Amino acid sequence: MALRLSTLFLRTLREDPVDAEVASHRLLARGGYIRRVAPGGFAWLPLGMIVLRNIEAIVREEMNAIGGQEVLFPALLPREPYEATGRWEEYGDNLFRVKDRKDADHLLAPTHEEVFTLLVKDLYSSYKDLPTILYQIQTKYRDEARPRAGLIRTREFIMKDSYSFDVDDDGLAESYRLHRAAYVRIFERLGLEVVAVSADSGAMGGSRSEEFLFPTAIGEDTFVRSPGGYAANVEAVTTVVPEAVPYDDAPAAVVRNTPASPTIESLVRQSQELHPREDREWTAADTLKNVVLKITRPDGEHVLVAVGLPGDRNVDIKRLEVSIGDALEIQGEIEVEQASDDDLRSRPLIVKGYLGPGLNLGEPLLGEKSVTGIPYFVDPRVVEGTRWVTGANVSGQHVYDLVAGRDFTWDGTIECAQVLPGDPAPDGSGPLEAARGIEMGHVFALGRKYAEVLGLKVLDQNGKQVVVTMGSYGFGVTRAVAALAEAYHDDKGLIWPRAVAPADIHVVATGKGAEFMAEAEKIVEELEAQGLKVLFDDRAKVSPGVRFGDFELLGVPTMLVVGRGLADGMLELKDRATGEARDVRRDGVGPEVAAAIRG
Amino acid sequence: MALRLSTLFLRTLREDPVDAEVASHRLLARGGYIRRVAPGGFAWLPLGMIVLRNIEAIVREEMNAIGGQEVLFPALLPREPYEATGRWEEYGDNLFRVKDRKDADHLLAPTHEEVFTLLVKDLYSSYKDLPTILYQIQTKYRDEARPRAGLIRTREFIMKDSYSFDVDDDGLAESYRLHRAAYVRIFERLGLEVVAVSADSGAMGGSRSEEFLFPTAIGEDTFVRSPGGYAANVEAVTTVVPEAVPYDDAPAAVVRNTPASPTIESLVRQSQELHPREDREWTAADTLKNVVLKITRPDGEHVLVAVGLPGDRNVDIKRLEVSIGDALEIQGEIEVEQASDDDLRSRPLIVKGYLGPGLNLGEPLLGEKSVTGIPYFVDPRVVEGTRWVTGANVSGQHVYDLVAGRDFTWDGTIECAQVLPGDPAPDGSGPLEAARGIEMGHVFALGRKYAEVLGLKVLDQNGKQVVVTMGSYGFGVTRAVAALAEAYHDDKGLIWPRAVAPADIHVVATGKGAEFMAEAEKIVEELEAQGLKVLFDDRAKVSPGVRFGDFELLGVPTMLVVGRGLADGMLELKDRATGEARDVRRDGVGPEVAAAIRG
């Protein structure tokens, strides 16, 4: 049955909604696909429903193709399992918490790891039952601080979430690979060019995680990429380690008074005269900046650490938070902040602004843990033989030609510095550039965390109980609609890819009279007989201009105009994306249009 | 792709779950269709999902067939529109209320009248836009005091809710008729025999409402029905009014001392000797019981009324609550309870236990409003000329041969009495019997209440603003699964109707060996080539007994056994419902089975 504009629950809008910040929101609202009904809450109108269901169908097919089995959980879940894994607290304000009439705590689940784990525990007990992949396409909730950008960040949204259950690491790797491949196929079918971004460096105990980002300036996630195809979250970028430098001929370290050098820039400027370098001018990258940081461990205890990094870049707290756990052998979530004056009061040997690494100049210095008790880590660029300008641990003095490995040592190397545009990609694929994107999907080799806490074990081949290892895989269905609208539009409206379009063909009848309309109806029937889904502009008293404008706004890929040419047995077929038009004969229009559409 | 028991996420259970009170819960849980994960919260497992989707598809088709357009609203909605219509309060504890991080009030919607009204207000403005029917198939929430009976009463469930919008009463009547017809077709296609029950008597301002109940002893809703097909909520039953009785020859009323008659039974017993009736013995139905009730108006004010009804039945408070509004000309919700001693303290003329109607015996009596100020209503059986035994308004005395219309009058007739088994159906279709049922659907001609409050008006043909009139129509998808399981099972398991079954055919391979299994696979392929959905028991090392038991438990309508007969080119086809089996030839098994299944 054709969708008919005369009765379709739809009013296209000429004006942008005042609250629409981004193109997808603007055009989906103007085209009557969605309607905002609450902060971060949208109603899907009939055309929007079709696009949504088309996407769901593709996701479902690809999940089924990798052996996924569809289930459906409640969104409203009891607190207990989320309490057990710590997520009841961890989610903080992002979680909608609900009390029932008996004052029992519930939540509107943002994701379902806990209950899937318990379900599999409930039904399965042997390695023979595994591997298993379960998924649902379901409404999720997040109490966003700032719902924004239309469908991109809402408080209620549809996601496909799946979970894999394997008996060992190889199994998990295979389930992960299957999901990753399925996601690649889904994005291909949707026509959405995404970037698979490593979400962490792999340093966190062998787990693996990638985000599929749709690159766009309006994205909320930042990442870096190279011309050669490398892409990663900034947190996951590993620094390319320079080779060690021979230092037999390096000049000896020397301390200088540097009275007017409060900043790296002023230090560099002053150094050109005060202690000129033999081969070239000093740059900020030659200075070694040392920073004391306060680490809050998962148990709430504080630890101080110092990090040394080239002075042309700042400490990246987020990168540090990811890498510091391994360096200090701490499990769990770690918070990092710059140490305050208060934190340093009990450590008078730390001279603010003139902090240097351990150094054999007869002074008690930072690098010697016996004195300060503070571990000292350096950026990977600090390799043996590199020469640095750095603080002398005496107010108003810096030291020059301090050679790493000769004049100071460190407790470890750590990713602590900003990634800057132009930095080399770790895989040698060229210089990195910063980019923004929308997270469309996430594949995550979870490992045994949830199974451990919730007691999901199976008997292995030797009759021994083993903890199951899991993966968790999310795909944002709601968000995919937004990303497609961002990717496929022009200033006149939407241009849907065929795979998700609300119809195959948009038929516009520009003539009048009962006879003319009867013929248009017949043409629609002939198109439908070919299995085409038709959106039929059968409205009375609407000008051709409005009709064509609505075609461009609504974004069905192809239009068939039934107009004046009908008298001569001709119709016009027009492509929304290219604007190209060509005549087609009235006779045999069904097969002809079907062939044109199906390529 | 066949569903394969070797990999299907399913464990059939031999034992009933301890918490399963009803057959549907027991069998759906044992068959691995659903799994309880929270109080009143169930996960749908793969087979359950298929049944659920099959039902949804039927509902969707029938809604589309009456011109319904599918949309989808959030479940989490802001308080304001529900505040405006008063439902934020009215729902009481049944509503899940949620505060967001900014402390703003939200609810998990049990039904969506308010936001559909606002959506149509948002888009439409003219009578030309109407009629419109919008629907969604969506997750709903109710904070049930006692979730029970598996899927029958849950806290989160899937419903189809639709809403019609019309410019006038005739339009609403047509939208109502369309929905009613669509529901009848849905139930027919599901194979669910339901009873359309008038939910109110039509006395409430012309609105109309019917519930579709699935009759079952485990139902929570009571209703009455007649052999001739009448069915109604007890509240909606109208009493068949007897004809007036000539009373020219009736004896005069006479007061007697009735010292030992605290109850109707003792009064009746005593009366046979004390004041024998000329034609037959007295019965409880000859006594007129008068009861003083306290009415709480919507504004919280109290009013006393008295009702007189035959002594063989009690006051039915719920029926009275429905009918009293019209009688007293009160709009809105009314509460009724029996007047307490406290309520009657200021009315010394009311003699408890000996209360009679207005009566010309020289005493100041109840029926005379000038004295007591209490309006007096009677049951419709109290018609002119009927003779009664009733209280004499004097302690220890009753009056006999009190004739309605001769000896006392009343302020109005009201439905206030219990409906008893054997009472005549109002439409003359025979004696009523009590029954129980599960509410599967509800069609409700809402009228203008929501549109009025929320300002949904359109311009009519004369350019005048008119308030839109609405209907609201619910269908319980989750509940339909339960009702079907209740309707179609035996002591061995489920017996799905074809329209909703998780598969068309259940193939059991009872032989062993690679060659045998390869042949079974080929047979499955041949069945699938016919478009049949196959559930294939391809498990290794499972006894035929367990396989047949699972077939009976899971309830696919037909089984094909690939067993020993295969050597002779024969297979066995078995019907789950009848248990009948017949041989079919291996050659051409696909078309043969398809024909058998499609009838």
Partner-chain residue, chosen from A35, A45, A69, that has the shortest CB–CB distance to B46: A69
Q: Which residue of A lies nearest to B137 if distances are taken between CA atoms?
A: A49
- The pLDDT of residue A560: 97
Mean pLDDT over each residue of chain A, to the nearest integer: 90
Lowest mean pLDDT among A220-234, B327-341, B465-479: B327-341
Lowest mean pLDDT among A319-328, A568-577, B284-293: A319-328
Cβ–Cβ below 8 Å for B9 and A42: no
- The pLDDT of residue A200: 67
Q: What is the pLDDT of residues A381-396, one digit of tens each?
A: 999 999 999 988 888 8
Q: How confident is residue A370, by pLDDT bands cut at 50, 70 and 90?
A: very low
Cβ–Cβ below 8 Å for B8 and A73: no
Which residues of chain B are within 8 Å of residue A78 when distances are taken between CB atoms?
Answer: 38-39, 41
Q: Is A488 exposed, middle or buried (0-12, 13-18, 19+ CB in 10 A)?
A: buried
- The pLDDT of residue B365: 46
- CB count, 10 Å around CB of B430? 15
Q: Decide if pLDDT at B513 tops 90.
A: no
Q: Which residue of A lies nearest to B5 if distances are taken between CA atoms?
A: A129
Read off φ and ψ for residue A412, nearest 5 degrees.
Answer: 170, 165
Alpha-carbon distance B575 to nearest alpha carbon in chain A (angstroms):
28
pTM above 0.90, yes or no: no
Q: How confident is residue A403, by pLDDT bands cut at 50, 70 and 90?
A: very high
Q: Decide if pLDDT at A150 tops 70.
A: yes
Cβ–Cβ below 8 Å for B41 and A77: yes
Cβ–Cβ below 8 Å for B73 and A43: yes
Cβ–Cβ below 8 Å for A71 and B9: yes
Alpha-carbon distance A273 to nearest alpha carbon in chain B (angstroms):
57
Which residues of chain A are within 8 Å of residue B37 when distances are taken between CB atoms?
Answer: 73-74, 77, 115, 118-119
Q: Which residue of A lies nearest to B145 if distances are taken between CA atoms?
A: A101
Alpha-carbon distance B386 to nearest alpha carbon in chain A (angstroms):
51
Q: Decide if pLDDT at A270 tops 50.
A: yes
**Type and span of the H or E element at A557:** none
Q: Is B18 exposed, middle or buried (0-12, 13-18, 19+ CB in 10 A)?
A: exposed
Q: Decide if pLDDT at A473 tops 50.
A: yes
- The pLDDT of residue A274: 86
- The pLDDT of residue A15: 86
Rounded Cα distance, B297 and B277, in Å = 42
Q: Decide if pLDDT at A338 tops 50.
A: yes
Q: Which residue of B lies nearest to A5 if distances are taken between CA atoms?
A: B129
Amino acid type, B212: F
Q: What is the pLDDT of residues A290-315, one digit of tens each?
A: 998 998 887 888 888 889 999 999 99
Helix (H, G, I), strand (E, B) or coil at B96: strand
Greater model confidence, B408 or B553: B553
Q: Decide if pLDDT at A325 tops 60.
A: yes
Residue with tokens 């009730």: B293
Alpha-carbon distance B28 to nearest alpha carbon in chain A (angstroms):
14
- The pLDDT of residue A362: 40
Cβ–Cβ below 8 Å for A143 and B8: no
Greater model confidence, B573 or A407: B573
Q: Decide if pLDDT at A204 tops 60.
A: no
Which residues of chain B are within 8 Å of residue A161 when distances are taken between CB atoms?
Answer: none
* Complex ipTM value: 0.86
Lowest mean pLDDT among A22-31, A398-407, B257-266: B257-266
Span B193-199, average pLDDT:
88
Q: Which two tokens stand for residue A316?
A: 């990246």
Lowest mean pLDDT among A411-420, B33-42, B268-277, B442-451: B268-277
Which residues of chain B are within 8 Å of residue A139 when distances are taken between CB atoms?
Answer: 75, 139
Cβ–Cβ below 8 Å for B74 and A143: no
Cβ–Cβ below 8 Å for B78 and A43: no
Q: Decide if pLDDT at A358 tops 90.
A: no
**Cβ contacts of B468 within 8 Å, gap of 6 or more:** B120, B130, B165, B166, B167, B448, B451, B456, B457, B458
Rounded Cα distance, B134 and B116, in Å = 8
Alpha-carbon distance A198 to nearest alpha carbon in chain B (angstroms):
31
Domains assigned to chain A: 48-237+433-484 (3.30.930.10), 254-413 (3.90.960.10), 503-598 (3.40.50.800)
Per-residue 3-state assignment (H helix, E strand, C coil) for A423-474: CECCCCCCECEEEEEEEEEEEEEEECHHHHHHCCEEECCCCCEEECEEEEEE
Q: Which residue of A lies nearest to B9 if distances are taken between CA atoms?
A: A69
Cβ–Cβ below 8 Å for B46 and A64: no
Partner-chain residue, chosen from B8, B132, B155, that has the shortest CB–CB distance to A9: B132
Partner-chain residue, chosen from B71, B123, B155, that has the shortest CB–CB distance to A11: B123
Cis bond before residue B131 (omega within 30° of 0): yes
Best A47, A51, A72 member to test B by mutation, with max B CBs in 10 Å, is A72
Residue with tokens 């997270």: A439
Alpha-carbon distance B276 to nearest alpha carbon in chain A (angstroms):
58
Greater model confidence, A520 or B334: A520
Partner-chain residue, chosen from A37, A67, A118, that has the shortest CB–CB distance to B74: A37
Greater model confidence, B352 or A168: A168
**Helix, strand, coil tally for chain B in percent (to 5):** 30, 30, 40
Q: What is the pLDDT of residues B452-477, one digit of tens each?
A: 999 999 999 999 999 999 999 999 99
Q: Decide if pLDDT at A201 tops 60.
A: no
Span B135-158, average pLDDT:
92
**Type and span of the H or E element at A202:** none
Helix (H, G, I), strand (E, B) or coil at B503: coil
- The pLDDT of residue A241: 92
Alpha-carbon distance A590 to nearest alpha carbon in chain B (angstroms):
25
Cβ–Cβ below 8 Å for A69 and B118: no
Q: What percent of chain B has pLDDT over 70?
A: 96
Q: What is the pLDDT of residues A523-554, one digit of tens each?
A: 999 999 999 999 999 998 899 999 999 999 99
Which residues of chain A are within 8 Å of residue B52 when distances are taken between CB atoms?
Answer: 72
Cβ–Cβ below 8 Å for A44 and B72: yes
The sign of the torsion formed by the CA atoms of A148, A76, B133, A512 equals positive
Q: Which residue of A lies nearest to B102 if distances are taken between CA atoms?
A: A145
Greater model confidence, B302 or A470: A470
Span B481-499, average pLDDT:
97
Q: What percent of chain B has pLDDT over 90?
A: 65
Strand B558-562 versus strand B534-537 pairing type: unpaired
Q: Decide if pLDDT at A359 tops 70.
A: no
- The pLDDT of residue A158: 97
Alpha-carbon distance A433 to nearest alpha carbon in chain B (angstroms):
36
Helix (H, G, I), strand (E, B) or coil at A203: coil
Partner-chain residue, chosen from A44, A73, A155, that has the shortest CB–CB distance to B71: A44
Rounded Cα distance, A291 and A297, in Å = 19
Chains A–B, number of C-beta pairs less than 8 Å apart? 139
Span B316-328, average pLDDT:
86
- The pLDDT of residue A301: 87
Best A42, A101, A102 member to test B by mutation, with max B CBs in 10 Å, is A101
- The pLDDT of residue B588: 94
Best B66, B69, B155 member to test A by mutation, with max A CBs in 10 Å, is B69
Cβ–Cβ below 8 Å for A35 and B119: yes
Partner-chain residue, chosen from B75, B100, B143, that has the shortest CB–CB distance to A100: B143
- The pLDDT of residue A215: 93
